[in-house]
A and B are shown apart, each in its own frame.
Chain A
Amino acid sequence: MKQQNDIFSNDDALRRAFQKGLPDAPVTAWFTRKVMNRLPPRRRRMLNGMEWGAYGVAILVLAIYWIGWISHIMSKGTVTVGDIGDMAVLLGFTLLPVVAILAPKVVAWIRE
């Protein structure tokens, strides 16, 4: 009885008694899975519409440039170093939206 009353006058002893005497709840993968399964479906990104609109404009502008570049080459009949440089720049700009569209999908696929 005296020992028990001593414990209640000593916070550290009481802390040790609680930490030793009370049951623990170990980490379980099951609990994490349950929580993750209860989360609401992924929300659609608010920028989706704007994003796709921007991609559409970019692709349209690039298509006009490509058509211009091809008709320029065909009318001239020869390809100069400058034309190849223009093509490289156009190719770079064309790859940008393609990578931007495909990269998140590839990353999501790899994660799954």
Chain B
Amino acid sequence: MLTKWEELRLVARCVAGDDRRAFERLVEEYQQPLRRFLLNLTMGNASLTDDLAQDTFLKAYLGLRSWQGVARFKTWLFRIAMNEYYGYLRRNREILPDDPPDSIPVDERVDTAGATEARLDVERCLSVLSANERAAVLLFYLEDKPLKEISRILDMPEGTVKSHLSRAKVKMAQVR
């Protein structure tokens, strides 16, 4: 995990000298949490995850000058990823952000054959949530992020994040 100063230094190198090595270091550092988040947000759709993650890094690179350094780089990156995901939902008119998602075909899921009972249960719990609830749940429980950071990523007040979380817990408890 990079420190904030290391992030600032790497971003400064990218902005000042178009240093690709510095950006590559940022991609290497943050691709794993970002892809894990997107993989579960898209209910295991690996190809969509990679597309969204690539677009996120590309947008981040193009907008590096707008990163003010107040929030952590990772928080900013997740915020871009959420915008990309919402953009994808709007473009594909699959589901509205507050509607429960349709089920994803089994062959698009990752590692379904080897999935454990626990994984299937958690995935099933996620499948009944809306996009915002799923994002809040993943950021809170999987990424272990505090409410303040989640509200920044989802661009909503902390109270709304809390209500998404409690509503999600009720929905998930009703699964089975």
Contact = CB atoms under 8 A, between A and B. Distances in A.
Interface stretch (A1-9, A83-91, A95-103): A1-9
Interface string A8-35: 1001001101111111111110011011
Given A36-B20, A38-B58, A22 B31 contact: no
B18 A43 contact: yes
A4 B173 contact: yes
Contacts, number: 95
Q: Is the interface of B mostly helix, strand, loop or mixed?
A: helix
B50 interface: yes
B110 A23 contact: yes
Nearest to A25: B35
Nearest to B29: A27
A42 interface: yes
B49 interface: yes
Contacts of A18: 122, 137-138, 141-142
A45 B15 CA distance: 11
Interface residues of A, number: 31
Interface in B26-64: 27-28, 31-32, 35-36, 38-40, 44, 49-50, 53-54, 57-58, 61-62
Given A14-B141, A18-B137, 20 more contacts: A8-B172, A15-B140, A17-B121, A18-B138, A18-B141, A21-B116, A21-B119, A22-B36, A23-B44, A23-B110, A23-B111, A23-B115, A25-B31, A25-B39, A27-B28, A28-B31, A40-B62, A43-B18, A45-B18, A111-B21
Interface of B: 18, 20-21, 23-24, 27-28, 31-32, 35-36, 38-40, 44, 49-50, 53-54, 57-58, 61-62, 110-111, 115-116, 118-119, 121-123, 126, 137-138, 140-142, 144, 169, 172-173, 176
